[in-house]
Chain A
């Protein structure tokens, strides 16, 4: 729709609401500011009331959703901050710049709390790279974008996950989570509370890149993506590195009252949000804003999403200190306005007032109550025949891009800078990082689009359960999580239903755990405009855990010959949504079931065994099933095992179901102390079987009447070389 010169995503009802509240017709600049701030991307207008059902409180939660980052108290006067962002639309058009500016954005959310960024995690979803040159191009450039940016600013990228599915061919998903650490007493909030404080724009100049980025993210991608190129920002990690130094030095000097990242919606959004949180108003003077091109219009200046900019609210009288800091680093700084008591955002150019809007009106878009409708049952495909060559099937699943080692990806990330990465990619179920109080943080990010597509409620709850299992597997207690809900067009009632059900699943599991949600993000419109094809429901979850003592840290590789292999949890014939089915070209009817209570009980008991020092290696069983989990433990440890699965067979279960079912609530652990582990598990009534022993240089599976036998070399070749072989066949 057009308002004057401006194309807007506002609905007629929203425009009428704005007119009524204001008592007049907003002018062009005011419409542009409202349009940016009320975009789905910035305002969460469709999702707010659904997200409100998530549990967000806990004794350790200092700041929950609604601010730039969640803040978790880790004791001893320290906090961990965490946030997740996606850059899906930009990455679909310019994968390198889109991914780079995505991580550039999330790091600012950590910085503006006054905390030091210490790690990135990335969750990436692409089309089927083995068949699509387009998706290969997207993936290579997304990974390079993250690497070039993250490596340059000196923040390690420590963990992640990559999923491949045809539904992401035109709509890749690029999510990056960031973790920060700081002192509790130095925490900053994005708010302007004190009348008279100066508002400073720090960092790069404001240009024409990223114009309408927020509204661009709030609709589907058009037929000709090149038209949207100007909505993608330009990354400059060197300037970002300097902004990190300036922000942290200013925070330590205690001269900031508030700090705000400028991301989606640009200055229009940033200014209204700090004023709204502070209950104040702001006067902004456009001529003070350093611009890249002389003829930029007021609208362009206010909604530009040029990167590498921060807003500082500086305590009156501290301007000189700020000046010293920005001079040292050679970073731009301009006083662009001041905090007022008017409760309004007023924009001036050379003294002439161009816009005058009440802060609460601008910052609080009217919510939209969308309808959801459960889809009709879609999948009537017959179940495939059971595999006749299990050995071949296992090697095929190990080499499937979603399962295979992501070595090709994480070798490009500096995952060690900061000398705190204590569990590195490929070594354990989650990354572990040193914290200043002597504890370790465990972090992971997980998703499972196929489960969520089959049943968004069970699927999304399973994603949270799996992420918690990964955290427990390294010896940590989960303490908080972030959710990132990625769906198609919310105007489609079936999609909105899926979104609501996914959040319900996450909320129910989290309440039972109990685990607080400290932040998140919603990304709708991940859908092709022409054929209305949406991505599969793709909530991504990141869980933070704490490892109380260094000795609790547990990795997944088999450690010593003779150790007993225990399979914790029951394996059921649940192949729906599995990677095995995917390699056979089918989906199944429903995802594995999830017994919330059993899941939590199982996690608690395994963590107890780990904390009691009984566990030498631990790995969760999820994507790829038992076969993949055992192979991964063998490959990571460089030693084999002999495992007899016969006791696992439930009535009438086939061997492929046993090897590849992705049943929830399972771990594989190894121990030197079988009796104590058995006692802990049986006391908690957690099912488990003794499956075999570690040793040798091959992996034997006893499967009832048959036997599978793989040398470590064969497993390694399938698992380690697959991605590289697909992406760089010439390197072989």
Chain B
């Protein structure tokens, strides 16, 4: 399978993600400049973390209007796996692929910290290997990760199984219902604030993140 890691101006977790896909998981992965990405032979796509377009205007909104997102939308409709990590999650939300909004953390500060997480839904393209492993750890690092939506929307997200991962215990950002990750209804598009690529080496604190990408391989294989 082939994975595309989309690089926007200001992306800064692009090479970290590429490293994990290529060198840890031995996947065929390409780093593609956002203007050059169009629907193609890729089986899956990653929108990596960072500060696309410097977070100007609002985190993720300018990237959400990049031509690359038209191709991402097509992949999403085809049922191919798409993951947005951190800024990538912000882009998915600004592109309307996932509902709601990500607001400034309630502390009004950037927070970089390993968190205890709970996998709420394992029937997605990025969590299917977490069946029976609900407690995991991955780090977060962001300024705008406080998920917000109206109560009806939050209820619908819960009832339709779109809440993928929540914070277990401490809620670091004041996010609604401790939400750390959401998916679309079909489960092939996932956005998450935690960084799986930073949790892919035991020496750096854990390997739960590897399972996120391995789930993607599993989803494509089945």
- Is A151 interfacial (CB 8 A cutoff)? yes
CB-based contact B109/A238 at 8 Å: no
CB-based contact A241/B54 at 8 Å: yes
Query: How many interface residues does chain B have, given as a range?
Result: 20 to 34
Interfacial residues of chain A within 117-160, with CB under 8 A of chain B in the complex = 144, 147-148, 151-154
Residue from B10, B33, B112, B141 within 8 A of A241 (CB atoms): B10
Over the window 14-39 of chain B, the binary record of Cβ atoms lying under 8 Å from chain A Cβ atoms (1 yes, 0 no) is 00100110000000000001000000
Residue from B13, B33, B54, B203 within 8 A of A152 (CB atoms): B54
Measured between beta carbons, the chain B residues less than 8 angstroms from A416 are: 112, 139, 141, 195, 198, 204
Over the window 411-445 of chain A, the binary record of Cβ atoms lying under 8 Å from chain B Cβ atoms (1 yes, 0 no) is 11111111101100000000000000000000000
Task: Among A154, A239, A245, find the residue whose CB has the most chain B CB atoms closer than 10 A.
Answer: A154
- Given the known interface contacts A154-B50, A422-B204, the answer about A238 and B110 at a Cβ–Cβ threshold of 8 Å is no
Report the separation of the CA atoms of residues A414 and B145 in the bound assembly, to the nearest whole angstrom: 14
Residue from A144, A237, A417 within 8 A of B141 (CB atoms): A417
Measured between beta carbons, the chain B residues less than 8 angstroms from A289 are: none
Residue from B20, B56, B112 within 8 A of A412 (CB atoms): B112
Query: How many interface residues does chain A have, given as a range?
Result: 20 to 34
Measured between beta carbons, the chain B residues less than 8 angstroms from A415 are: 112
Report the separation of the CA atoms of residues A153 and B9 in the bound assembly, to the nearest whole angstrom: 11
- Is A725 interfacial (CB 8 A cutoff)? no
Residue from B53, B55, B109 within 8 A of A411 (CB atoms): B109
Residue from A239, A245, A329, A411 within 8 A of B111 (CB atoms): A411
CB-based contact A417/B109 at 8 Å: no
Q: How far is the CB of B190 from chain A (nearest CB, A)?
A: 20
- Is A704 interfacial (CB 8 A cutoff)? no
Report the separation of the CA atoms of residues A151 and B110 in the bound assembly, to the nearest whole angstrom: 9
Residue from B56, B113, B198 within 8 A of A419 (CB atoms): B198
- Is B94 interfacial (CB 8 A cutoff)? no
Measured between beta carbons, the chain A residues less than 8 angstroms from B50 are: 154
- Given the known interface contacts A328-B33, A329-B9, A731-B107, the answer about A411 and B113 at a Cβ–Cβ threshold of 8 Å is yes
CB-based contact B110/A414 at 8 Å: yes
CB-based contact A238/B111 at 8 Å: no
- Is A63 interfacial (CB 8 A cutoff)? no
- Is A562 interfacial (CB 8 A cutoff)? no
CB-based contact A413/B9 at 8 Å: no
CB-based contact A419/B201 at 8 Å: yes
Interfacial residues of chain B within 85-133, with CB under 8 A of chain A in the complex = 107, 109-113
CB-based contact A154/B9 at 8 Å: no
- Is A330 interfacial (CB 8 A cutoff)? yes
- Given the known interface contacts A152-B10, A416-B198, the answer about A238 and B54 at a Cβ–Cβ threshold of 8 Å is yes
Measured CB to CB, the residues of A under 8 A from B are: 144, 147-148, 151-154, 236-239, 241-242, 245, 328-330, 410-419, 421-422, 550, 731
Measured CB to CB, the residues of B under 8 A from A are: 9-10, 12-13, 16, 19-20, 33, 49-51, 53-56, 107, 109-113, 139, 141, 143, 195, 197-198, 200-201, 203-204
Pick 13 A–B contacts, CB within 8 A, sort by A: A151-B143, A152-B54, A154-B50, A154-B51, A237-B54, A238-B53, A242-B10, A328-B33, A416-B198, A417-B141, A419-B198, A419-B201, A731-B107
- A238-B51, A238-B54, A421-B204 are known; give 7 further A-B pairs, CB within 8 A: A147-B109, A151-B110, A153-B12, A239-B54, A241-B54, A411-B112, A417-B12
The 3 closest A-B pairs by CB, nearest first: A238-B54, A154-B12, A152-B51
